[in-house]
Amino acid sequence: MRVLIVDDCDELRTLLEVLITEGATGWVLAGTAVDGRDAIQKARETSPDLVLLDASMPVMDGLAALPHIRRSAPDAAVVMLSAFPGLQLRRAALDAGAAGFIDKTHLAEELVPAIERILRDGACST
């Protein structure tokens, strides 16, 4: 599975890359993006299977970029990530077409299993 990582924080992009490439069999990095606009372009260029999309970023946040990413990579599952998960944001992300929503609080332990659950069972949030 080809994964596009979208987050404005260098350290978090690196952590996510390590988690997906070392924590899941057959997952490879398709690319990274630093904001929503960059994500739209990279989704178009890389045709990822999965997009890990930060909710809060400068230039264009994840929620604003989500419908554009869905059009740029229609076969990709988009999973929204947030350090400040609120019920309203979760609902908005799922309503906008996210396959799931993951709280960044426990990424190291829960990222890969949560994504596998989302891909297997359909839209949900953790």
pLDDT means per 10 residues in the chain (126 residues)? Answer: 96 93 88 97 97 95 96 95 87 93 85 86 61
To which H or E segment does residue 28 belong?
strand 28-33
Query: Which residues are within 8 A (CB) of 51 and not within 5 positions of it... i.e. 6 or more apart?
Result: 3, 4, 6, 39, 43, 69, 73, 76, 77, 78, 79
- What's the pTM? 0.92
List, in order of start, the domains of the chain with CATH numbers. 2-125 (3.40.50.2300)
Residue 102 β-bridge partners: 81
pLDDT for the residue numbered 126: 52
Q: Is 112 exposed, middle or buried (0-12, 13-18, 19+ CB in 10 A)?
A: middle
pLDDT for the residue numbered 117: 85
